Amino acid sequence: MSNIEQEADFGDAVPGDEPLDDHEPAEGVGSYLIGLGLAILLTLVSFFIARTTLVWEPSIPVALAVLAIAQMGVHLVFFLHITTGPDNVNNVLALAFGVLIVFLVIAGSLWIMANMNHNMMPMDQIMQMQR
């Protein structure tokens, strides 16, 4: 090992670390600026869609969900620096598992509770039985 300044490559990137090789602060700002711009754009569109009467009304919640998921992706890539590179496999796998659990908890709760609401006896009939 001749070069003592060179560091070993462990094959994993630190989540949140911006790729930054220089001691010059301006180097890493670009990614945050792109992220900020995209996030502002998506937020503005979200707030516009929520109040507009220009689009077909039942499509609004779907549009809002898509915009929110897109914005979370922007935050993950440009603020948390989660990438598809080989040094990010562990970070992405942990994220994928988290997303799976979040999906199961939310979709499962909504599905089960909607089913139970559907099967519940109407409230006036319950009142009748208690007389």
Partner 1 sequence: MSAFDATAERDIPRAEPARARHHAADELALKRIVVGFGFWIFLLSDIVMFSAFFASYAVLVGATAGGPSGRELFNLDNVAIETACLLLSSFTCGLASIGARTRNGLWFYGAMAATFLLGAAFLAIELHEFMNMIAIGAGPTRSAFLSAFFTLVGCHGLHVTAGLLWLLTMMAQVFAKGYRPDILRRVLCFSLFWHALDIVWVALFTVVYLMGVAA
Interface pick for partner 1 out of 29, 89, 120, 126 (rule CB under 8 A): 29
Residues near 49 by Cβ (< 8 Å), separated by ≥ 6? 55, 60, 63, 64, 67
Nearer to partner 1, 44 or 125 (CB): 44
Provide, rounded to whole angstroms, the least separation between the CB of residue 127 and partner 1: 16
| Residue 115 binds partner 1 (CB under 8 A) | no
Shortest CB 91 distance to partner 1, Å: 6
In angstroms, give the least distance from the CB of 44 to partner 1.
Answer: 9
Asked whether 94 and 84 are in contact (CB, 8 A), the reply is: no
Which helix (H) or strand (E) segment is 61 a member of? Answer: helix 60-74
Given candidates 41, 76, 77, 83, which one binds partner 1 under the rule CB under 8 A?
76
Distance CA 80, CA 73 (A): 10
On the CB side of 9, CA atoms within 13 Å amount to: 4
Least Å distance between CB 46 and partner 1? 6
Query: What is the DSSP code string of 27-57?
Result: GGHHHHHHHHHHHHHHHHHHHHHHH-SSS-G
Interface contacts to partner 1, rule CB under 8 A: 1, 4-5, 7-8, 10, 12-18, 20-25, 27-29, 32, 35-36, 39-40, 43, 46-47, 49-51, 60-61, 64-65, 67-68, 71-72, 75-76, 79-80, 90-91, 94-95, 97-98, 101-102, 105-106, 108-110, 113
